[in-house]
Amino acid sequence: MTCPRIEVDIGKIRHNTQKIAERLGPLGIGVTGVTKAVCGHPAIAQAMLDGGASGLADARISNVQRLRAAGMTGPITLIRTPMTSQADQVVQSCDVSYNTELSVISALAAAAIRIRSVHGIVLMVEMGDLRDGIRPENLAGIAQQVMQMSGVALIGIGANFACLSGLAPTMLQMTTFSDLADEIEGVCGPFLDVVSGGNSANLPWALDERATGRVNDLRLGEAILLGVEPVSGDQISGLHTDAFTLVAEVIETDPEPAPSAIVLVGPNLARRRIAQASDVSKRMILAMGHQDTDIPGLSMPAGSTLIGATSDHLVIGTSHSLPSVGSEMRFQMNYKALMHAMAAPDIEVTLFGDPSTPPAQQTQGKVDHLALV
């Protein structure tokens, strides 16, 4: 088979989605499957839908168009504020988009009118992550202006946590967010269909057996794809953490590496060296590098040590027996490494998997703390 490649177990993605949906459903919270980390891969998106996701979401219009080209006709939301230059593409491909700027919403309205359509608007509220969003004190005024526009319909509000700040949402923040939904309905009149409380980092809050207020949607990517909670890195109990495996080929081995003098020609080189050659007894080189994935986001196989990487070489040390040239090594990835690898043009994606595969037992990260059973 071709290397490097990503092996994707579709059954495990379906299983992860189903387990999360089963727990959130009784709380009145639906699951929107986020496909941006897999570049809108249609088969992976379909596995999310088959597992119980009520809709799909992505941050890039090219990924949405890939889903539509594959014949997916269900609801798809653009979760990054649209670029004005792509307004026509957004209203043609997306049912709904998340927005923060009135000028962009105006462009979407005009584009929707041109095709005799109505585009759904969710206003993103800044609740402390400091990435994007409307300040809470300005939300009502902007919502009123959106209500007066033809071609668009205000259908909800959304919030985001732990993306830029890395901080999980607090109960106070989530209560305040629910209160904002009530406030907007009081000012603008119509009931908000979507109150999207956040992403995978919100799962501990949602499953904490407390009232979840008005929140009726979570946008989940990392939890479904990798089976982990983003802030802590802990495995979510009952979910698979190995639905994706990155496979690379060994192109050189050195059973007796000879240490050599290193001349630092730049101040950053010292930081790039993760392990000195003398720290390991043997080393190998794989045909994969920074151009293919986020190297620090790879989990090294047992007994192996990351020595370093260049744009297209990955150097690994081991105290075990060296594999033969032409053999393969397998790696687990974190979310950043997965995003880079799925977008890399030279990495093939191979699908397999039986939907009846039992839940994973291994852990990734620290300790289990979420029960999805």
Instruction: Quote the CA–CA distance of 137 and 141 in Å, as a whole number.
Output: 8
Higher pLDDT: 118 or 165? It is 118
Least confident of 172-186, 245-259, 320-334: 245-259
Mean pLDDT of 309-316: 96
* Residue spans per domain, the chain: 9-230, 244-352
Q: Is the pLDDT of residue 159 over 50?
A: yes
Same fold, 9-230 and 244-352: no
> Per residue in 271-282, pLDDT tens?
444 445 455 679
Residue with tokens 């809050």: 205
Taking the mean position of all CA atoms in its chain, how far away is CA 276?
Answer: 33
CATH code at 244-352: 2.40.30
On average, the pLDDT of the chain sits at: 89
CATH code at 9-230: 3.20.20.10
Q: Is the pLDDT of residue 270 over 80?
A: no
> Cα separations (Å) of 122 from 68, 105, 271, 314?
21, 10, 43, 43
Q: Are 196 and 219 in contact (CB under 8 A)?
A: yes
Task: Please report, rounded to a whole number, the percentage of residues in the chain having pLDDT higher than 70.
Answer: 88
